[in-house]
């Protein structure tokens, strides 16, 4: 996964300047929030399900080596070939190798964050293999060279007219209407032939069952079912943290995920498959177990709960920061609160030091998280690590200087006198909008109140 191109505050600045984006986002996040609240309210045992989900994931992390080996053995027994990938390059190489072995110039893809994270499409393109995105939103982004801004609704920043115009330029010349049903029909027609022709499918997985080797994909459109059943060969890439111990554990997550994600009682399609089934679906199955930074996250006792994430995106929709800046400002495949704790840990805090600060610490994300990830706690933990690792030299010397000034009343009074004279040059409209460097870092995102004409100490001195 690439590091964000610029810091969160800088990126947020231009995203906030786009009124269309802000309107689309406000509308979308409010709608999903309301739907989610309604279907969560319906379940009398929601908190018990969250408790179970959280505990099952903690168990998976604490025994991950055992579960991985169990998963590998079950898959192999069920006729699948298991590959281990330390990083994205190794995972991409497996897909390329399988595609080449079957003479496939194109693979059909289910929407998968893991494959976005490892930039599979770009990597396959370098090998001359086209990865066709078949999720409706992912197709839109692929056609336009754009990228996702939401875990679940990747094209949340696009409205219907923009999509109609894009389709007119690309897959559906002459399309007039911008009705969602018409646009969906255009995508259906465009992809149907490609599904029927495909030799190799590529998917991620929402869950992998260690005991049985079962893989699970949760989706809405049916493109996931197409990609995992029509092509004779299937490659499934799964992060090593996605395991659950037994089939019965899915009873918890298959209730938590759809209600938290799309705010539905259940999503239209959930597929489970266990290796290769005779005469039904792909007769060759490759499963890639992906590390790509996950073991690094696992090593941090506080931060590792980020690996419990089931990618529902509820935390994005309730976040006051995300719902204004959108996903692009995070510069990461994983945006929003979960991205702010996951991305810096996956790629190293030194490569994304501003992300743990992209939060007001209001705690809404923790309350909606279906597996109870304490995001605010991890944010604070990572902020401390960010300061230790990359920043803080300037801040430390400023604090030392402040300590020296505050140690004596005479020094403080002298500093205040000096400040009152100097600020005359900086005042505009009664506030200071810009300080000279290095203090400009403070005023880049804030206005500063000027020093009062008389300080507290001076006032008190006169009254006595």
Separation CA 322–CA 329 (nearest Å): 9
C-alpha to C-alpha distance for 414 and 286, rounded to whole angstroms: 73
Please report, as residue ranges, which positions from 321 to 340 form the binding site for other proteins (by CB under 8 A). Answer: none
CA distance 164 to 186: 10
How far CA 60 is from CA of 57, 64, 243, 255, 304, in Å, comes to 5, 5, 7, 19, 11
Figure out which of the listed residues 78, 302, 412, 451 binds other proteins, where binding follows CB under 8 A. Answer: 78
By CB under 8 A, tell whether 301 contacts other proteins.
yes
User: 314 burial class (0-12, 13-18, 19+ CB within 10 angstroms)?
Assistant: buried
**Least Å from the CB of residue 105 to other proteins:** 20
Q: What is the separation of C-alpha 217 from the centre of its chain, rounded to a whole number of angstroms?
A: 18
Sole window of 276-284, 371-379, 396-404, 408-416 interacting with other proteins (rule: CB under 8 A): 276-284
301 or 462: CB nearest other proteins: 301
Site for other proteins in 85-124 (CB under 8 A): 85-86, 90
Structure tokens at 138: 């992912």
Nearer to other proteins by C-beta: 358 or 378?
378
HEC assignment per residue over 338-354:
HHHHHHHHHHCHHHCCC
Q: Does 137 bind other proteins (CB under 8 A)?
A: yes
Site residues for other proteins, window 232-261 (CB under 8 A)?
A: 240, 247-252, 254-255
Closest by CA to 390, choosing from 437, 443, 352, is 352
Going from the C-alpha of 434 to that of each of 359, 377, 397, 399, the distances in angstroms are 24, 32, 21, 20
Between residues 230 and 432, which has the closer beta carbon with respect to other proteins? 230
The contact mask relative to other proteins for 7-26 (x = CB under 8 A, - = no) is: -----------------x--
Interacting stretch for other proteins, rule CB under 8 A, among 41-49, 356-364, 421-429, 436-444?
41-49
Q: Cα(301)–Cα(324) distance, rounded to whole angstroms?
A: 31
Distance from C-alpha of 203 to C-alpha of 134, rounded to nearest angstrom: 11
Yes or no: say if 206 and 155 are a contact pair by the CB < 8 Å rule: no
Using the rule CB under 8 A, give the single segment among 13-21, 44-52, 340-348, 350-358 that binds other proteins: 44-52
Among positions 38, 265, 396, 454, the unique one binding other proteins when judged by CB under 8 A: 265
SS3 content of the chain, % helix, strand, coil (to 5): 55, 10, 35
Q: Which residues from 176-235 bind other proteins, rule CB under 8 A?
A: 180-181, 183-184, 187-188, 191-192, 195-196, 211-212, 214, 220-223, 225-226, 229-230
Cβ 201 to other proteins shortest distance, Å: 12
Of 11 and 52, which CB lies nearer to other proteins in the complex structure? 52
CB under 8 A: which stretch of 76-84, 326-334, 336-344, 383-391 binds other proteins? 76-84
Among 10, 13, 33, 63, binds other proteins (CB under 8 A): 63
* DSSP tag of 330: G
Single residue of 153, 200, 333, 379 touching other proteins by CB under 8 A? 153
Question: What gap in Å lies between CA 24 and CA 159, rounded to an integer?
Answer: 7
For other proteins, the closer CB: 69 or 399:
69
Which of 26, 101, 299, 418 is the binder for other proteins (CB under 8 A)? 299
Least separation, in Å, of the C-beta of 63 and other proteins? 8
Find the part of the chain contacting other proteins (CB under 8 A) among 59-67, 121-129, 426-434, 435-443. Answer: 59-67
Q: Cβ of residue 412: shortest distance to other proteins, in angstroms?
A: 47
Closest CA to 110 of 242, 204, 237: 204
User: Is 181 in a helix, a strand, or coil?
Assistant: helix
Residue of 121, 203, 236, 262 that binds other proteins (CB under 8 A):
262
12 vs 132 by CB, closer to other proteins: 132
Choose one: 8-16, 50-58, 352-360, 416-424; the region binding other proteins (CB under 8 A).
50-58
Phi and psi at 253, nearest 5°, equal -75, -30
Question: Should residue 84 be labelled a site residue for other proteins when binding is judged by CB under 8 A?
Answer: yes
Instruction: Describe the crossing of helices 409-423 and 456-463 by its angle, rounded to 10 degrees.
Output: 120
CB 91 within 8 A of CB 292: yes
Q: Which tokens is 222 given?
A: 């049916």
Q: Which residues, in sequence order, are bridge partners of residue 284?
A: 233
Q: Which is nearer to other proteins, 196 or 390 (CB)?
A: 196
Q: How far is the CB of 448 from other proteins (least distance, A)?
A: 41
């Amino acid at each position: 996964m690439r590091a964000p191109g610029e810091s969160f505050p800088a990126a947020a600045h231009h995203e906030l300047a786009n009124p269309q984006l802000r309107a689309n986002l406000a509308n979308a996040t409010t709608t999903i929030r309301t739907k989610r609240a309604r279907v969560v309210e319906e379940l009398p045992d929601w908190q018990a399900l969250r408790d179970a989900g959280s505990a099952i994931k903690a168990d998976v992390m604490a025994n991950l080596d055992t579960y991985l080996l169990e998963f590998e053995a079950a898959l192999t027994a069920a006729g699948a070939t298991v590959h281990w990938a330390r990083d994205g390059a190794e995972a991409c190489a497996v897909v390329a190798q399988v595609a080449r072995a079957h003479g496939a110039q194109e693979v059909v893809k289910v929407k998968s964050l893991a494959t976005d994270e490892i930039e599979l499409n770009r990597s396959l393109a370098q090998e001359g293999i086209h990865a066709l995105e078949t999720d409706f939103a992912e197709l839109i982004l692929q056609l336009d060279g754009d990228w996702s801004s939401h875990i679940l609704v990747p094209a949340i920043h696009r409205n219907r007219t923009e999509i109609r115009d894009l389709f007119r330029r690309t897959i559906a010349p002459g399309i007039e209407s911008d009705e969602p049903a018409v646009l969906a029909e255009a995508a259906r027609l465009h992809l149907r032939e490609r599904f029927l022709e495909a030799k190799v499918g590529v998917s991620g997985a929402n869950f992998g069952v260690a005991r049985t080797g079962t893989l699970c994909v949760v989706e809405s459109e049916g493109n996931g079912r197409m990609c995992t059943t029509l092509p004779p060969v299937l490659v499934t890439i799964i992060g090593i943290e996605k395991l659950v111990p037994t089939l019965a554990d899915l009873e918890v997550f298959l209730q938590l995920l759809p209600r938290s994600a799309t705010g539905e009682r259940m999503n239209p399609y959930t597929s489970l498959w266990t290796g290769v089934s005779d005469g039904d679906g792909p007769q060759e199955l490759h499963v890639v177990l992906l590390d790509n930074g996950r073991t690094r996250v696992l090593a941090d006792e506080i931060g590792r709960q980020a690996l419990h994430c089931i990618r529902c995106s509820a935390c994005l929709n309730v976040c006051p920061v995300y719902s204004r800046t959108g996903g692009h400002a995070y510069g990461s495949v994983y945006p929003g609160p979960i991205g702010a704790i996951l991305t810096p840990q996956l790629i190293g805090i030194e490569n994304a030091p501003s992300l743990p600060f992209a939060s007001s610490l209001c705690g809404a994300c923790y309350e909606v998280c279906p597996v109870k990830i304490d995001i605010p706690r991890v944010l604070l933990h990572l902020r401390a690590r960010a300061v230790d690792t990359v920043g803080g030299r300037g801040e430390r010397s400023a604090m030392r200087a402040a300590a020296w000034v505050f140690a004596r009343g005479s020094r403080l009074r002298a500093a205040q006198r000096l400040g009152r004279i100097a600020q005359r040059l900086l005042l505009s409209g009664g506030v200071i909008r810009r300080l000279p460097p290095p203090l400009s870092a403070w005023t880049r995102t804030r206005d500063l109140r000027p020093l009062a004409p008389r300080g507290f100490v001076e006032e008190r001195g006169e009254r006595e």
